[in-house]
Amino acid sequence: MIRVTVWNEFRHEKSHEAVRAVYPKGMHEAIADGLRKDSGLKVRTATLDQPEHGLTKEVLAETDVLTWWGHMAHGEVQDEIAARVQQRVLEGMGLIVLHSGHMSKPFMRLMGTSCLLRWREADESERLWVVSPTHPIVAGLGPYIDMPAEEMYGEHFDIPAPDDLIFVSWFEGGDVFRSGCSWSRGLGKVFYFRPGHETYPTYHNPEIIKVIDNAVHWAAFAGNNSVAPFYGANTKPLQTIVPKKH
Amino acid sequence: MIRVTVWNEFRHEKSHEAVRAVYPKGMHEAIADGLRKDSGLKVRTATLDQPEHGLTKEVLAETDVLTWWGHMAHGEVQDEIAARVQQRVLEGMGLIVLHSGHMSKPFMRLMGTSCLLRWREADESERLWVVSPTHPIVAGLGPYIDMPAEEMYGEHFDIPAPDDLIFVSWFEGGDVFRSGCSWSRGLGKVFYFRPGHETYPTYHNPEIIKVIDNAVHWAAFAGNNSVAPFYGANTKPLQTIVPKKH
Amino acid sequence: MIRVTVWNEFRHEKSHEAVRAVYPKGMHEAIADGLRKDSGLKVRTATLDQPEHGLTKEVLAETDVLTWWGHMAHGEVQDEIAARVQQRVLEGMGLIVLHSGHMSKPFMRLMGTSCLLRWREADESERLWVVSPTHPIVAGLGPYIDMPAEEMYGEHFDIPAPDDLIFVSWFEGGDVFRSGCSWSRGLGKVFYFRPGHETYPTYHNPEIIKVIDNAVHWAAFAGNNSVAPFYGANTKPLQTIVPKKH
Amino acid sequence: MIRVTVWNEFRHEKSHEAVRAVYPKGMHEAIADGLRKDSGLKVRTATLDQPEHGLTKEVLAETDVLTWWGHMAHGEVQDEIAARVQQRVLEGMGLIVLHSGHMSKPFMRLMGTSCLLRWREADESERLWVVSPTHPIVAGLGPYIDMPAEEMYGEHFDIPAPDDLIFVSWFEGGDVFRSGCSWSRGLGKVFYFRPGHETYPTYHNPEIIKVIDNAVHWAAFAGNNSVAPFYGANTKPLQTIVPKKH
């Protein structure tokens, strides 16, 4: 059972009628509802305005994979909590960063770059092409996902070269974007997934939920955490070291 | 249930008493016995001197992951069958190449390089360090694997830069080696794993079997094969293309 | 002075009036003329119908970087000469593969994959976005290159994940393509660059020539060839190896 | 002419007699002296105890490549100046991080990970193997560099997977280390190079200086900075976007 925490800034839904119309309970509930159809997941939600943004040490300790949607209030996320999320990723928690989360504090801290990009709100169609067909994140999809209308995000996207480039988006207006990218950071895995502008029903789209669900399974820790206790420790040599004459 | 075919050249065991002493039934049976303890695998073996090297189209079609050990008779592998293995990898079969298999025809065809390396038979100790702790291939191991004695393989190893570098070996005599490397090729995944000189009981070592078992699970196809039918096909545009004036 | 050999199949220009109209002396002469404006390069050409396809051992030995355009006659390239080109790349020659050269024998041998892709001849516009701005191949360009009309190449492009992904193309009809990709193979560097359908004046475009010129400078050997003599050689240990008790 | 600033914490040399004996003018002067033999470089130095650590906006604006050695006083580097260095890297300045600089604030900010490692002071020999022979950073070297005595750094080194892995170190006591690693971050290039413990004459070693000199040439900006003004900007579509019906 993978324990998932779906985090949402949850502000647009309160202040913008058009957003509330699409996501009456908030984007987090749409995403969580989608993931709850997978009986292998145990899903809860957390939002910015909860105490400690809903991300207490206890919650994070019990979270295998965290998904993150934020936009208008990135600056209100406390630095201490952003650092806490970063630290949990380094310890092995998976992190799935959605859409405008590219400028969130945890993602920026993990990437080390500006994470800036070009964008345009023009109600244009997007097609996400699979370019890494062996990756488990694309299991069960066709060769691409069509979004009838979305916000445009365009290159150059200022991120470290991804360990795996999984999707590349085409936009009606003439732009492309590396829209599905994965990285390892410490013992944790990070996946960035582009779609999800708040005025579109993106998180009601079964293909988008499928990708996030696949990503949860991929990002849940399945590696080797025996290396962790060695961090910074001194260590006994395997064999006798011959003293040098200086 | 993952269907594994363990392939072995099976010549050293017939011609060298010292090898037969370690692997009386052949290295393939030692590896297969190790993998058979995993109830999620269905394991069979195949060897060079069988018709079509035991790798008929039917066998390959029913193989999810193929492991390969060869050395003294690389040249006797028929080109047609090497090409068949390569093609099956591109279609999604996993391939785990062991030790001296670095110069096997299927591996060299998939890599495109000379796959040469430096080597030394000096009965020296090897330590395989985990350098990619998020990778599922290293699950359940400690921070390294110690081999009390092995043949040395040293850099430069002439391979394409691996998609993931998973193990780096230290050798007593002063050498290092990228001893666990993975790549995607087409719809297939390839893992090269260094240890396994025929005169040492390497494939009786539970940690080595653990790595191969992990690699089988990792290499079994779990991606998206919907892209395959598009290979080479013409394709209908998503939107109207405006004719150009030349 | 970098010695460049521009190779062209040189068949479409002879058999198709429309192609000859665009490239009266052949595509190779258009590319070579473009590169000759760079006084740091010494440029010659070679074509399929010359003896040994113009790629004798002597020519290759004197070639620092080879560019390759082929299409309708890939099958007529002799296997021996394809292997010779591959071997020279492994020894340090740069290789720049253009457009339909993605199915050429030397490129396929170096990649190990099918190199298949989707395509469409629909006279559509292409925009090549720079996604790796630190790479010297994109020096002197803007954020993208616009091609008013080209053949479409679309994903999935069955290549090994590039070491560096440099350009991603957008096509009018709804497709994207990894149109500038680089790899190291042995001591050699390989760059694939997508544009160049024979019926368009692509190689008269100064931006396209700029990319090829940059790629020549990048691909010319500038590394360390001292590793080469070690290939396959036995090697003396750095320190005394303690004999093991078996 | 590439403008290099050699930065040094410059504390060990003041407080430890053994270090002063090796580097009477400080490690920065040893490195700078080495680089000054390259007439293509214009070299200056800067140290922690200077105003703004010697890294004013003016100095950084006039710096093409910055080298960084720090250890006992990482915590005294002001956050504002660490952020300034990070920002200059994203704008295109090269950064070469030496030895214990792996825990420096600028490097950690650019990596996003803990950058922890295992270490041992045991006066042991190190051998740095070239594993990426096409890389310009290894030009002019042999297949490895031998250091008769150095501090040991061992895996796991908690860094993002490098874009290029260039050196792997062997240590007498049984450890390996990814000792030459490169990454791109924004428009800047970063190279980490392991050797350089303060009690050894590492920066008097011509091979070590050769690597740093090569790295300076590699890290100096040679890419495409036209993408920068697009960061965050809105952008006009290439073609008419068809309004969607919701």
Check pLDDT > 90 for residue C182: yes
* Dihedral sign from CA coordinates of B47, B51, B53, B54: negative
Q: Measured in whole angstroms, how far is the alpha carbon of residue C181 from the centre of its chain? A: 9
Polymer length in residues for chain C = 246
- Give the model confidence (pLDDT) of B120-163 as tens digits: 888 999 999 999 999 999 999 999 999 999 999 999 999 999 99
Tokens of C209: 């020539």
Give percent of chain C above pLDDT 90. Answer: 89
Contact D148 A227 (CB under 8 A): no
Instruction: Work out the minimum CA distance from A244 to partner chain D, whole angstroms.
Output: 6
State phi, psi for C14 to the nearest 5 degrees. -85, -30
The predicted structure's pLDDT at residue A246: 55
The predicted structure's pLDDT at residue C225: 86
Tokens of D167: 């050196």
Mean pLDDT, to the nearest integer, of C190-212? 98
Which among A140, A95, D31 has a CA at the least distance from the CA of A104? A95
User: Which chains border A (3 or more CB–CB pairs < 8 Å)?
Assistant: B, C, D
State phi, psi for C120 to the nearest 5 degrees. -160, 130
Binding-site residues on chain A for chain C (CB distance < 8 A): 127, 129-133, 143, 154-157, 161, 164-165, 168-171, 174-176, 178, 239, 242
Question: Is A152 within 8 Å of D217 (Cβ atoms)?
Answer: no
> What chain B residue is nearest to A144 in terms of C-alpha separation?
B227
Which among B137, B161, B145, B153 has a CA at the least distance from the CA of B207? B145
CA distances from D180 to A138, A180, B128, D184, D203 (A): 33, 29, 19, 14, 16
What spatial distance separates the first Cα and last Cα of chain B, rounded to whole Å? 58
Question: Is C69 within 8 Å of C10 (Cβ atoms)?
Answer: no
The predicted structure's pLDDT at residue A81: 98
Greater confidence (C241 vs D180) lies with D180
CA distance D155 to D169: 10
Contacts of residue B197, defined as CB under 8 A and 6 or more positions apart, other chains included, come to B99, B100, B121, B150, B151
Mean pLDDT, to the nearest integer, of C198-217? 98
**Considering only A60-69, C72-81, C225-234, D150-159, which range has the smallest mean pLDDT?**
C225-234
Contact A138 B223 (CB under 8 A): yes
State phi, psi for A76 to the nearest 5 degrees. -85, -10
Question: Is C71 within 8 Å of C49 (Cβ atoms)?
Answer: no
The predicted structure's pLDDT at residue A227: 73
The predicted structure's pLDDT at residue D232: 52
The predicted structure's pLDDT at residue B246: 55
Tokens of D221: 């900006």
Residues paired with D165 in a beta bridge: D181
What is the three-class DSSP state of D64? coil
Mean pLDDT, to the nearest integer, of C97-114? 97
Does the pTM surpass 0.95? The reply is yes
What is the complex's ipTM, to 2 decimals? 0.95
Residue type, C211: V
Check pLDDT > 70 for residue D228: no
Enumerate residue ranges in chain A where pLDDT < 70: 228-240, 243-246
- Give the model confidence (pLDDT) of D173-208 as tens digits: 999 999 999 999 999 999 999 999 999 999 999 999
Mean pLDDT, to the nearest integer, of C64-68? 98
> What chain C residue is nearest to D173 in terms of C-alpha separation?
C239
Choose the mutation target among C117, C125, C131 for the interface with A, i.e. most A CBs under 10 Å. C131
B52-85 burial: b if 16+ Cβ within 10 Å, else e: ebbbeeebbeebbbbbbbbbeebeebeeebbebb
- The overall average pLDDT reported for chain D is 94
Q: Which of A125, A152, A156 sits opposite D230 (nearest CB)?
A: A156
Residue with tokens 């350098």: B131
CA distance B134 to A225: 8
What is the three-class DSSP state of C183? strand
Q: Which of B185, B230, B244 sits opposite C160 (nearest CB)?
A: B185
Tokens of A64: 């295998």
**Considering only A114-118, D34-38, D101-105, which range has the smallest mean pLDDT?**
A114-118
Contact C246 B90 (CB under 8 A): no
Q: Which residues of chain D make contact with C184, given a CB cutoff of 8 A?
A: 132, 134
Q: How confident is the model at residue B227 (pLDDT cuts 50, 70, 90)?
A: confident
Tokens of D131: 């594993």
CA distance A65 to A6: 9
CA distance D59 to D80: 15
Give percent of chain C above pLDDT 70. Answer: 93
**Considering only A199-208, C234-243, D45-54, which range has the smallest mean pLDDT?**
C234-243
Contact C165 A161 (CB under 8 A): yes
Contact B116 C231 (CB under 8 A): yes
Tokens of A61: 């300790």
What spatial distance separates the first Cα and last Cα of chain A, rounded to whole Å? 58
- Give the model confidence (pLDDT) of B38-65 as tens digits: 999 999 999 999 999 999 999 999 999 9
Q: Which residues of chain D make contact with B165, given a CB cutoff of 8 A?
A: 161, 165
Q: Which of A156, A165, A175 sits opposite C130 (nearest CB)?
A: A156
CA atoms within 13 A on the CB side of A172: 21
How, if at all, do strands B94-98 and B188-193 pair?
A: parallel
The predicted structure's pLDDT at residue C227: 74
CA distance C16 to C12: 5
Question: Is D62 within 8 Å of D93 (Cβ atoms)?
Answer: no
CA distances from B68 to B1, B82, B189 (A): 20, 11, 14
Instruction: Work out the minimum CA distance from C104 to partner chain B, whole angstroms.
Output: 14
The predicted structure's pLDDT at residue D226: 87
Check pLDDT > 60 for residue D233: no
Q: How confident is the model at residue C226 (pLDDT cuts 50, 70, 90)?
A: confident
Contact C134 D187 (CB under 8 A): yes
Question: Is A96 within 8 Å of A219 (Cβ atoms)?
Answer: yes
User: Which chains border C (3 or more CB–CB pairs < 8 Å)?
Assistant: A, B, D
Q: How confident is the model at residue D245 (pLDDT cuts 50, 70, 90)?
A: low
